[in-house]
Amino acid sequence: MDMPSVESTRVLGGQFELGNKLGSGGYGTVYSGVNRLTGESLAIKMQKRVRGRCELKHEYKVYQVLSSEVGIPRAYAYDEDGDDVYLAMDLLGPSLEDLMKACGGCFSIKTVAMIGIQLIARLESVHRNKYLYRDSKAANFVIGRDRSNPTIYILDFGIAKSYLNSRTKKHVRYQPCVDVIGTPWFMSARAHNGCEQSRRDDMESLGYTLIYMLRRSLPWSVLGDPEDDDEAVDKQIAKMKSTITIDELCAGCPAEFKDFFSHTGSLEFEQAPDYEYLKSVLLQVLVNLGDSNDNIYDWIAPTAVVGAVPSASPESVVKDTDSGESDYSAASSTASSADDSSSSSTVPSIENAICVPATEETLDKGQRQVVGSVQLGTSVKGSDDKLLSGGLKDRILRRYFNRHLKTQPPSSLLAQIYPEVGTVGPTASNACSVGIKRKRDDKEKHGKWKWWKAMVGWLPFGNMKNKRQSSF
């Protein structure tokens, strides 16, 4: 009689026992794990071994450099195991992105100000160790598994970079044309335009993240998701960041936010931010509220709303860890909720968003603004209508409804965007066909010069041929 086979538990390095898969993303897969020597729970990030630079190896190096700093998780080991490489590190709690969803889709002014004060200190410690973070976003900041611990941790140093020249040990020189690194929604305007990043860019990126956590959106949120990889949308976001005023950017935020961006915008390339001043700006927000930095955040306050996720906001999508969200924060949230299921913690559980099919009549004000901006072909002051021609309006509108509202746009809205298919309202297939035709027409018109556009990215897209002829 054959006995059923039992799959043996995989042990990495003779010490780290691999557990359940918790999540996956752009940098590999995250598993729960146990340190057999100490019995501690771990997060284990794994990816296939490839030639060239390994993000996990680089991340482990950065964790080692920052190991003595507050709010930095401990990294225990990096090693190879067969065709895989792995990084064993602390298992922490849910990300601020998850907690936003659990607290109604955004945080209160008080909570955002207290978060900002902590994160300024985190970035200051990273900069003190001669590194740039370059990846500020709510998904990369997490709380601990012990919810009584107010410390906010910073994760994912895969794209962190030293701002010192490895040979001279002096600050790197400014360069106007380098690879664009970061998340489109949150990277600084200079970084988005291909400029070398420095400490000022980390602080500007943090400012965008704080506005996002307060308003649950940014002025360019209507153009897609934070992790979208769309060249035309990317260009539009970069243009919006370069042309928007501080007043427009900080609309609806405390006045002190303008002081925050005025300071980051005034810094020279090699200049260190005034971290104490930036903290004092956010402390003043608390003073104006008649409150203090008491570490009572929305997720531990008695009034926290459990599972209320507004369907209108770009943040209301149900988490998909394959979409590029922070691998580790997704895993931490899952593991923490499982380990703490019997806890009496007051942190609300993360609920999936319930998306109700939308009609034009039931759209709220925010949704009507999204639709209106797409219909007009503009989203903020100074946007380029050419970039919203062809099928891009259709892609933006459909992406917004499909991903965030789980439904098709109302036919009456499509009729306004595509008048050539009739005012009675196109069917989904007809509207899509029109969009495809427009995309094909655009490709036939500009495809010949696409190679030149890629090589000289600063040339205006609409004048490829004339610019090339006048250059010789």
The full set of domain ranges for the chain reads 11-90, 96-339, 360-470
Q: Is the pLDDT of residue 447 over 50?
A: no
Split at pLDDT 50, 70, 90, the class of 224 is confident
- Strand 41-48 with 11-12, pairing: unpaired
Spatial distance between the Cα atoms of 96 and 80, rounded to a whole number of angstroms: 31
Nearest to 461 by CA among 437, 443, 438: 443
Which residues are tagged catalytic? 135
Query: In the chain, pLDDT over 90 holds for what percent of residues?
Result: 48
Which residue has better confidence, 78 or 411? 78
Split at pLDDT 50, 70, 90, the class of 395 is low
Split at pLDDT 50, 70, 90, the class of 340 is very low
Which residue has better confidence, 51 or 122? 122
pLDDT attached to residue 341: 42
**319 in a labelled binding site:** no
Spatial distance between the Cα atoms of 11 and 54, rounded to a whole number of angstroms: 22
Nearest to 330 by CA among 350, 315, 301: 350
Is 202 strand, coil or helix? helix
Q: Are both 11-90 and 96-339 of the same fold?
A: no
pLDDT attached to residue 423: 33
- CATH, domain range 11-90: 3.30.200.20
Q: Is the pLDDT of residue 339 over 90?
A: no
Alpha carbon dihedral 302, 303, 304, 305, in 10-degree steps, equals 130
Q: Is the pLDDT of residue 173 over 80?
A: yes
User: For the residues 425-439, what does the mean pLDDT come to?
Assistant: 35
Average pLDDT over the chain, rounded to an integer? 73
Reported CATH class of domain 96-339: mainly alpha
